[in-house]
Amino acid sequence: MRVAIAGTGSLGFNVLLGTTDADHEVVAVVQDGRKLRGFRRWFIPFMTGIFGAAATVTGYARRHGIPIHYIDKMDDFELDPLRALDIDLLLVAGFAIILKPPLIQLPKIGTVNCHPSLLPLHRGPNPFAAVILAQREETGVTFHVMEESIDTGDILIQHSLELDGKESAGQVYKQTSDMAGGMVEELLIQIERDGLVGTPQDGENASYEGKHEGDALFVDWNASAEDIHRLCLASLPFAFPRFYDGDRIVYITKTTCDSEPVDAAPGTLLAVRERVEQTTKSGKVVAMRSQARIATGEGTITLWGALSTRPIPGLWPGLIFARRSPGHVVR
């Protein structure tokens, strides 16, 4: 089949590789024309073609002579060049723009979206944070017929993977991206045989997740240590969980939690640069220095990385400037 790929990031790249590995012809790569305009439409693919071909959709396209098309309004001016390519199937993966019917209906067979969750659960732009915050024991990848509404079309194929509760959002993203690439050949064989015949989603059990951002990233120290740690896992590495120290915002890069109760108010700084022994995956015990340990509503959170931009950029709770000591309270 003649396939076009509308995708970005690791998810889009793995779907692109899965298509080429399945011996189907990728005739176009479609990109976000709202994000890239003017000179950047040439410069970004040029640079990724030199430095990023191993991990980017546009870099791969530049290296392999695949034309890159940018869409925004999805009018005839943008779509006529795609019509001329006689596309059989459009695969969408990790694409930020909601596609309109003129583009969805352009391929002869149709358009299929890759969504990294077990639809109808966790529709929307951030299923990675959602499965962690919901304490799911599994997630997965769904390929479904694309409609104008978000992640609602009939399911073509769906595979699941187990979660152990220790994954960050970034790790879930990588695992589902890798899984998606491995599912493409099965998907394309099924489409060649049956067309876009799938199973309708159960709307009653559907959920939608918006972007994980804004106030949702701030720590509530009255929550349990486990809930705060889960918030951090659900945020990283796409966004930094954070809290206030006075009028400063402190950004967290890594945490561990302990549910053992402590006799201190939530948000109280209990220790600074504490020596902690940890066991590695190989069983070796190593001593490390934490940044800080803080009391929560139930247990404690250990910060292994925390940054503040004020009064000067640096590690929190500080070594010299504005250093904080045990007993200090954050919010």
pLDDT tens-digit series, residues 199-218 = 999 989 999 988 999 999 99
Q: Are 117 and 146 in contact (CB under 8 A)?
A: no
- Would you state the pLDDT for residue 36? 59
Alpha-carbon span 152 to 142, nearest angstrom:
11
- Would you state the pLDDT for residue 43? 65
How wide is the angle at C-alpha 313 spanned by C-alphas 310 and 316, nearest 5°? Answer: 75
Strand partners, 237: none
Same fold, 2-205 and 214-315: no
> Does position 45 have pLDDT exceeding 80, yes or no?
no
Give the tens place of pLDDT for each residue, 282-301. 777 778 889 999 999 999 99
Q: At what angle do helices 169-194 and 225-235 cross, to 10 degrees?
A: 50
Alpha-carbon span 26 to 5, nearest angstrom:
7
Average per-residue pLDDT in the chain?
Answer: 92
Q: Which residue has the higher pLDDT, 178 or 315?
A: 178
> What CATH code is assigned to 214-315?
3.10.25.10
Topology at the third CATH level for domain 2-205: Rossmann fold (3.40.50)
Average pLDDT value for residue range 222-248: 96
Q: Which of 1-5, 96-100, 121-125, 263-267 has the lowest average pLDDT?
A: 96-100
Alpha-carbon span 209 to 117, nearest angstrom:
11
**Nearest Cα residue to 225 out of 329, 131, 307, 295:** 295
Q: What percent of the chain has pLDDT over 90?
A: 79
**Nearest Cα residue to 328 out of 316, 314, 320, 313:** 316
User: What is the gyration radius of the CA atoms in the chain, in angstroms?
Assistant: 23
**Cis amide leading into 237 (omega within 30):** yes
Give the tens place of pLDDT for each residue, 96-155. 889 999 999 999 999 999 999 999 999 999 999 999 999 999 999 999 999 989 999 999
The residues near 248 (Cβ < 8 Å, ≥ 6 apart) are 308, 309, 310
**Ranges of each domain in the chain:** 2-205, 214-315
